Structure 1
Amino acid sequence: MSNLRERVLSALVLGAVVLFATLVGGWLFAIVSTAIAMLVWAEWVDVVCPNGDDRIRLLGFFFLGLVFLGALVVPNGAMPLVWAAATLLFAVASMVLVGGLWSVAGFLYSGGALVALIMLRESGPSVSGLVAVLFLFAAVWSTDIGAYFAGRHFGGPKIWTAVSPNKTWSGAIGGLVASVVAAEAVFALAGLRPFYLAALLAVVLSAVSQVGDFFESWVKRRAGVKDSSRIIPGHGGVMDRVDGLVFAAIALWILSILASGFARPSDAFFAAM
């Protein structure tokens, strides 16, 4: 119970900060998103490349900072070019410094989420960007909460004990159901239709976020560590907390771009008709 209380308090504080930045948008949201991406990058290096060249770590911070500056000065539609250039330059520098493919993977992991969040949130005078990010948070956070309580209450067969011994099928289903309920609530409050679209998106994001959770568990098990760090009381590291969000944000970003283009991807599913 003490651990649960600690987890809840930490989640409430962090959630309040992130939600406030999301509501404000603009430079504040970009700063918070960049801070999260940089912490994820730092933890990735510590977990996956603990004996790597420290210059690789600094290069990651530098190029993530360039992506942040790009978000402030270039149009939303040009952000993929900024991201592609930063990734290419980092990959070349990483290979020169013998950083290896794992360093590049970590930069893609942290930076991909950063670009996805910034592009989804930016929608000009429209509120579609705000709704898109709130929808994303609702789907992912409710998946975590639903999976946690359903798994503890119902138990049952495990999904993949070799990677994550505590995750059950009942937890996965509970997380998916909770995600659909939360997503429908966001759609209803935003006055959006049709409701089946909210359910479909929620199912996809819930499933992808759970895959992201397994991915991070696999990375940590490969490295022989339990938590990516101890920065968040009751949760471990930032990477532990946003593993599902990283995958879900990138998935929603890609789906939105395919449906609506680069300039305002959030209009694809979250613009009022």
Structure 2
Amino acid sequence: MHDGEQKRNKWDVVELQKRAGVIVVLVVALLVPMWRSPPFCHAVLCIVLAGGCLEFWWAACSHAVGTQEYILLTVLFLGWFLPSLAGLQVYQDVVGHKCLVECLVIQLAVGDSAQMLVGRSMGRHYACPTISPKKTYEGYLGGAAITLLYASVVHRWPSLNVIVAYTFGCIGDLYFSVVKRRLGIKDYSRLLSSHGGLLDRFDSFIFASNALVWKAVYQQILSGRRIVK
């Protein structure tokens, strides 16, 4: 086995150990309490959104140069912040808090990990090397298949919801990667130590959860139901 292959395999083991640790923390400290308590779920979602907002602008103010750059970053910021802020007001009535807890598991624990594993073991064709150099078409497709199987069997999610969440989760990951590449940074912060900041961990979930919420809102509008707040 070549040195490069050995290093890659060693890295994969270390990365898997880190992800396993994160999953345990997520389940014990976040997912179970969020599942059992809607107010706690809402509080966590608010903290993630507020923390992500602060991280975004801390990174922007530390690395952006020029008025045009700030205008572009403002547009990119509003593109995810406004839908997320509005979604916080309606998600309980359209999908319920348990759906977003399941989305955390499906998108972050299963989807992202499946992408990484399939991409590193089978990936040959890079999808967007200038934005996210390690992402491959094989990783995306393999991750989609595993996520679809898991979410359908374990959580009984409709296939369309899984595909929507997974697809927009991948878009969210690339979206925030574009900002990082433009700012010339690896992570938005070091809040979570080697795992980066909140945006680095929850980037795909932000887009995935928004997609589920606004898909449900659209379906309610089509069916003539009124969202009560």
User: Equivalences for 1:93-132 in 2 at 5 Å?
Assistant: 100=71, 102-103=73-74, 105-107=76-78, 109-110=80-81, 112-117=83-88, 119-122=90-93, 129-132=96-99
Aligned residue-pair number: 207
Which whole-Å CA distance do the structure 2 matches of 1:12 and 1:264 have between them?
36
Q: Look up the match of 2:104.
A: 137
Of 29, 39, 47, the match for 2:59? 47
Look up the SS of the partner of 1:158 in the other structure.
coil
User: Equivalences for 1:122-201 in 2 at 5 Å?
Assistant: 122=93, 129-141=96-108, 142-188=110-156, 198-201=158-161
Deviation at 1:248, TM superposition (A): 1.0
User: Equivalences for 1:192-271 in 2 at 5 Å?
Assistant: 198-261=158-221, 263=227
Q: Look up the match of 1:33.
A: 45
Percent pairwise identity:
24
Question: Where in structure 2 are there 5+ consecutive unaligned residues?
Answer: 1-12, 65-69
Residues 19 and 233 of structure 1: CA distance in aligned 2, closer, same or farther (over 3 Å) = same
Residues 14 and 132 of structure 1: CA distance in aligned 2, closer, same or farther (over 3 Å) = closer
Conserved 8 A contact 1:116-1:250: yes
Conserved 8 A contact 2:56-2:188: yes
Instruction: With the length of structure 2 as denominator, give the TM-score of the two structures.
Output: 0.78
Which whole-Å CA distance do the structure 1 matches of 2:183 and 2:96 have between them?
37
After TM superposition, the structure 1 stretch with the greater mean CA deviation from structure 2, 163-172 or 43-52, is 43-52
Which whole-Å CA distance do the structure 2 matches of 1:187 and 1:14 have between them?
17
Deviations 1:181-219, CA, capped at 9 Å, x for gaps: 12212443xxxxxx7xx1122112111110111111111
Deviations 1:109-128, CA, capped at 9 Å, x for gaps: 245335425632357xxxx6
Q: Look up the match of 1:22.
A: 34
Residues 15 and 42 of structure 1: CA distance in aligned 2, closer, same or farther (over 3 Å) = farther
Conserved 8 A contact 2:55-2:189: yes
Residues 7 and 184 of structure 1: CA distance in aligned 2, closer, same or farther (over 3 Å) = closer
Question: Where in structure 1 are there 5+ consecutive unaligned residues?
Answer: 53-98, 189-194, 266-273
Which whole-Å CA distance do the structure 1 matches of 2:146 and 2:111 have between them?
6
